[in-house]
Protein backbone atom coordinates (compact mmCIF):
# COMPACT_ATOMS: atom_id res chain seq x y z
CA UNK A 1 0.00 0.00 0.00
CA UNK A 2 2.60 2.40 -1.27
CA UNK A 3 0.67 5.66 -1.38
CA UNK A 4 -1.93 5.27 1.37
CA UNK A 5 -0.01 3.98 4.34
CA UNK A 6 -0.81 0.68 6.01
CA UNK A 7 -2.19 1.21 9.51
CA UNK A 8 -5.99 1.49 9.38
CA UNK A 9 -8.13 0.46 12.33
CA UNK A 10 -11.49 -0.02 10.61
CA UNK A 11 -13.30 -0.25 7.30
CA UNK A 12 -14.52 3.31 7.84
CA UNK A 13 -10.96 4.61 8.10
CA UNK A 14 -9.76 3.01 4.89
CA UNK A 15 -12.92 3.57 2.85
CA UNK A 16 -11.78 6.90 1.29
CA UNK A 17 -8.59 5.24 0.02
CA UNK A 18 -10.03 2.10 -1.60
CA UNK A 19 -9.33 1.84 -5.35
CA UNK A 20 -10.67 0.06 -8.39
CA UNK A 21 -8.23 -2.48 -9.86
CA UNK A 22 -8.57 -1.13 -13.41
CA UNK A 23 -9.03 2.61 -12.99
CA UNK A 24 -7.64 3.57 -9.57
CA UNK A 25 -4.87 6.15 -9.07
CA UNK A 26 -2.26 3.55 -8.13
CA UNK A 27 -2.69 1.37 -11.22
CA UNK A 28 -2.81 4.48 -13.43
CA UNK A 29 0.45 5.67 -11.87
CA UNK A 30 1.94 2.22 -12.50
CA UNK A 31 0.85 2.30 -16.16
CA UNK A 32 2.56 5.66 -16.72
CA UNK A 33 5.79 4.61 -15.01
CA UNK A 34 5.92 1.27 -16.83
CA UNK A 35 5.62 2.98 -20.21
CA UNK A 36 8.07 5.73 -19.27
CA UNK A 37 10.73 3.33 -17.99
CA UNK A 38 9.89 0.45 -20.37
CA UNK A 39 9.75 -2.06 -17.53
CA UNK A 40 7.38 -4.02 -15.32
CA UNK A 41 5.99 -2.07 -12.36
CA UNK A 42 4.56 -3.68 -9.22
CA UNK A 43 2.92 -1.60 -6.51
CA UNK A 44 0.55 -2.24 -3.61
CA UNK A 45 -2.75 -0.54 -2.79
CA UNK A 46 -6.09 -1.12 -0.98
CA UNK A 47 -8.55 -2.57 -3.51
CA UNK A 48 -12.33 -2.40 -3.64
CA UNK A 49 -14.10 -5.19 -5.55
CA UNK A 50 -17.85 -4.98 -5.11
CA UNK A 51 -18.52 -5.14 -1.38
CA UNK A 52 -15.17 -6.80 -0.62
CA UNK A 53 -11.87 -5.08 0.14
CA UNK A 54 -8.37 -6.46 -0.35
CA UNK A 55 -4.75 -5.62 0.39
CA UNK A 56 -3.61 -5.96 -3.22
CA UNK A 57 -0.80 -5.30 -5.66
CA UNK A 58 -0.93 -4.60 -9.37
CA UNK A 59 1.60 -5.74 -11.95
CA UNK A 60 1.81 -3.70 -15.15
CA UNK A 61 3.88 -4.64 -18.21
CA UNK A 62 6.21 -2.30 -20.17
CA UNK A 63 3.36 -1.43 -22.56
CA UNK A 64 1.20 -0.22 -19.68
CA UNK A 65 -1.11 -3.24 -19.62
CA UNK A 66 -2.38 -4.51 -16.29
CA UNK A 67 -1.42 -8.19 -16.32
CA UNK A 68 -2.19 -9.18 -12.73
CA UNK A 69 -3.99 -8.03 -9.61
CA UNK A 70 -2.83 -10.15 -6.69
CA UNK A 71 -4.75 -10.10 -3.41
CA UNK A 72 -2.99 -10.87 -0.13
CA UNK A 73 -3.93 -14.34 1.12
CA UNK A 74 -2.62 -14.48 4.70
CA UNK A 75 -3.84 -11.44 6.60
CA UNK A 76 -1.95 -9.80 9.46
CA UNK A 77 -3.97 -8.43 12.39
CA UNK A 78 -3.88 -4.95 10.84
CA UNK A 79 -5.41 -6.27 7.60
CA UNK A 80 -8.10 -8.15 9.51
CA UNK A 81 -9.63 -4.84 10.54
CA UNK A 82 -10.88 -4.29 6.99
CA UNK A 83 -9.62 -6.74 4.36
CA UNK A 84 -10.81 -10.04 2.88
CA UNK A 85 -8.41 -12.92 2.19
CA UNK A 86 -7.31 -13.41 -1.41
CA UNK A 87 -8.21 -16.61 -3.23
CA UNK A 88 -4.73 -18.17 -3.30
CA UNK A 89 -1.06 -17.86 -4.17
CA UNK A 90 -0.08 -17.24 -7.79
CA UNK A 91 2.68 -18.30 -10.18
CA UNK A 92 2.39 -17.17 -13.80
CA UNK A 93 4.47 -16.84 -16.95
CA UNK A 94 5.69 -13.33 -17.74
CA UNK A 95 7.56 -12.36 -20.91
CA UNK A 96 11.29 -12.13 -20.28
CA UNK A 97 11.07 -13.19 -16.63
CA UNK A 98 9.88 -16.80 -16.66
CA UNK A 99 7.45 -17.94 -13.97
CA UNK A 100 6.73 -15.13 -11.54
CA UNK A 101 5.07 -15.30 -8.14
CA UNK A 102 3.72 -12.53 -5.95
CA UNK A 103 3.43 -12.13 -2.21
CA UNK A 104 2.46 -9.47 0.28
CA UNK A 105 4.20 -9.45 3.64
CA UNK A 106 2.34 -11.89 5.94
CA UNK A 107 1.91 -14.32 3.03
CA UNK A 108 5.31 -15.83 3.85
CA UNK A 109 4.33 -16.49 7.49
CA UNK A 110 2.21 -19.38 8.82
CA UNK A 111 -1.50 -18.84 8.18
CA UNK A 112 -2.88 -16.63 10.98
CA UNK A 113 0.19 -17.68 13.02
CA UNK A 114 -1.87 -20.80 13.78
CA UNK A 115 -0.61 -23.16 11.08
CA UNK A 116 2.41 -25.33 11.80
CA UNK A 117 5.49 -23.10 11.73
CA UNK A 118 7.27 -25.64 9.52
CA UNK A 119 4.52 -26.01 6.91
CA UNK A 120 6.05 -23.15 4.87
CA UNK A 121 2.85 -22.83 2.80
CA UNK A 122 4.09 -19.97 0.60
CA UNK A 123 7.54 -21.41 -0.15
CA UNK A 124 6.21 -24.91 -0.80
CA UNK A 125 3.64 -23.53 -3.24
CA UNK A 126 6.38 -21.83 -5.26
CA UNK A 127 8.63 -24.89 -5.07
CA UNK A 128 5.80 -27.02 -6.45
CA UNK A 129 5.08 -24.52 -9.26
CA UNK A 130 8.75 -23.99 -10.25
CA UNK A 131 8.57 -20.24 -9.73
CA UNK A 132 11.64 -18.38 -11.02
CA UNK A 133 11.16 -14.98 -9.36
CA UNK A 134 9.05 -14.01 -6.34
CA UNK A 135 8.17 -10.35 -5.87
CA UNK A 136 7.03 -9.50 -2.36
CA UNK A 137 5.62 -6.12 -1.30
CA UNK A 138 6.13 -5.57 2.42
CA UNK A 139 4.98 -3.47 5.35
CA UNK A 140 6.98 -5.58 7.79
CA UNK A 141 7.29 -4.30 11.34
CA UNK A 142 10.65 -3.73 12.97
CA UNK A 143 11.67 -6.08 15.76
CA UNK A 144 14.62 -6.07 18.12
CA UNK A 145 17.14 -7.32 15.55
CA UNK A 146 19.01 -5.72 12.66
CA UNK A 147 19.07 -6.28 8.89
CA UNK A 148 20.86 -9.61 9.23
CA UNK A 149 18.18 -10.94 11.56
CA UNK A 150 15.43 -9.79 9.21
CA UNK A 151 16.98 -11.48 6.18
CA UNK A 152 17.67 -14.65 8.19
CA UNK A 153 14.00 -14.86 9.13
CA UNK A 154 12.76 -14.30 5.58
CA UNK A 155 15.29 -16.87 4.37
CA UNK A 156 13.98 -19.37 6.90
CA UNK A 157 10.42 -18.83 5.67
CA UNK A 158 11.69 -19.69 2.16
CA UNK A 159 13.67 -22.74 3.27
CA UNK A 160 11.90 -25.33 1.03
CA UNK A 161 13.36 -23.51 -1.99
CA UNK A 162 16.80 -24.33 -0.56
CA UNK A 163 16.09 -28.06 -0.19
CA UNK A 164 17.16 -30.98 -2.38
CA UNK A 165 13.68 -30.84 -3.93
CA UNK A 166 14.72 -27.64 -5.70
CA UNK A 167 16.78 -29.77 -8.13
CA UNK A 168 19.52 -27.15 -8.63
CA UNK A 169 17.09 -24.55 -9.96
CA UNK A 170 17.39 -20.95 -8.80
CA UNK A 171 14.56 -18.90 -7.37
CA UNK A 172 15.03 -15.17 -6.85
CA UNK A 173 13.20 -13.50 -3.97
CA UNK A 174 12.78 -9.73 -4.26
CA UNK A 175 11.41 -7.99 -1.16
CA UNK A 176 10.49 -4.30 -1.07
CA UNK A 177 9.78 -3.23 2.51
CA UNK A 178 8.88 0.20 3.77
CA UNK A 179 10.75 2.21 6.40
CA UNK A 180 9.70 4.83 8.91
CA UNK A 181 6.94 5.13 11.50
CA UNK A 182 3.17 5.25 11.01
CA UNK A 183 0.75 5.70 13.92
CA UNK A 184 3.31 4.35 16.35
CA UNK A 185 4.28 1.35 14.20
CA UNK A 186 7.93 1.23 13.05
CA UNK A 187 8.81 -0.66 9.88
CA UNK A 188 11.88 -2.80 9.24
CA UNK A 189 13.14 -1.69 5.81
CA UNK A 190 15.78 -4.21 4.67
CA UNK A 191 14.57 -4.43 1.07
CA UNK A 192 16.64 -7.18 -0.51
CA UNK A 193 17.29 -9.54 -3.41
CA UNK A 194 18.07 -13.18 -2.63
CA UNK A 195 19.24 -15.98 -4.94
CA UNK A 196 18.02 -19.33 -3.59
CA UNK A 197 19.03 -22.79 -4.82
CA UNK A 198 19.49 -26.20 -3.22
CA UNK A 199 23.22 -25.45 -2.96
CA UNK A 200 23.41 -21.79 -1.98
CA UNK A 201 21.44 -19.02 -0.31
CA UNK A 202 22.99 -15.80 -1.61
CA UNK A 203 22.22 -12.22 -0.63
CA UNK A 204 22.61 -10.32 -3.90
CA UNK A 205 21.92 -6.94 -2.33
CA UNK A 206 20.04 -5.35 0.56
CA UNK A 207 19.26 -1.99 2.12
CA UNK A 208 19.43 -0.90 5.75
CA UNK A 209 16.57 -0.87 8.24
CA UNK A 210 16.30 2.90 7.97
CA UNK A 211 17.46 3.38 4.39
CA UNK A 212 15.08 4.89 1.84
CA UNK A 213 16.20 4.74 -1.77
CA UNK A 214 16.41 2.78 -4.99
CA UNK A 215 18.17 -0.58 -5.13
CA UNK A 216 19.33 -1.77 -8.55
CA UNK A 217 20.30 -5.44 -8.74
CA UNK A 218 21.18 -7.57 -11.76
CA UNK A 219 20.07 -11.19 -11.85
CA UNK A 220 20.86 -13.85 -14.43
CA UNK A 221 17.99 -15.65 -16.17
| 201, pLDDT greater than 70 | yes
DSSP readout, 36-72?
HHTS-EEEEEEEEETTEEEEEEEEE-TTS-EEEEEE-
Please state the domain count of the chain.
Answer: 2
- Does residue 164 sit in the same domain as residue 97? yes
Least Cα distance to 191 among 220, 156, 216, 218 occurs for 216
Short-list 220, 215, 200, CA closest to 98: 220
Q: Long-range contact list for 22-27, CB < 8 A, 24+ apart?
A: 22/66, 26/2, 26/58, 27/58, 27/60, 27/66
Work out the average pLDDT over 162-183.
89
Query: Are 35 and 71 contained in the same domain?
Result: yes
**40 and 62 in a common domain:** yes
Question: Considering the entire predicted model, what is its pTM?
Answer: 0.95
Q: What is the mean pLDDT of residues 72-92?
A: 98
88: left (phi over 0), alpha (psi -120 to 50) or beta: left
pLDDT at 166: 67
Percent of the chain topping pLDDT 70: 99
Instruction: Yes or no: say if 187 and 140 are a contact pair by the CB < 8 Å rule.
Output: yes
Indicate whether 115 and 75 sit together in one domain: no
Q: Residue 208 — φ and ψ, nearest 5°?
A: -75, 170
Pairing mode of beta strands 185-186, 192-196: unpaired
pLDDT per residue as tens digits for the range 110-131: 999 999 999 999 999 999 999 9
Percent of the chain surpassing pLDDT 90: 92
Domain residues for the domain of 129 are 89-221
Of 88, 104, 119, which residue is a domain's last? 88
Task: Provide the mean pLDDT of the chain.
Answer: 96
Query: Do 94 and 187 reside in the same domain of the chain?
Result: yes
- Are 4 and 72 contained in the same domain? yes
Last residue within a domain, chosen from 35, 61, 88: 88
- Where a domain ends, among 29, 59, 88? 88
Q: 167 pLDDT band (50/70/90 cuts)?
A: confident
What are the tens digits of pLDDT across the range 5-26?
999 999 999 999 999 999 999 9
For 62, phi then psi, to 5°, come to -60, -15
CB 123 within 8 A of CB 157: yes
33-71 pLDDT tens trace: 999 999 999 999 999 999 999 999 999 999 999 999 999
CB-based contact 204:196 (threshold 8 Å): no
CATH number at residue 213: 3.60.110.10
pLDDT at 91: 98
Amino acid sequence: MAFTGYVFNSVEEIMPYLEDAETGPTVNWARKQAQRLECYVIVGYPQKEGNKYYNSLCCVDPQGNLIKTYQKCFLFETDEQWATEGSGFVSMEMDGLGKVGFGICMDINPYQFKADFYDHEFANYHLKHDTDIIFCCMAWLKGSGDERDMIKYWAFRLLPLHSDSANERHTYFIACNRTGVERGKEFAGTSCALDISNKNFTILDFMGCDTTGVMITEILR
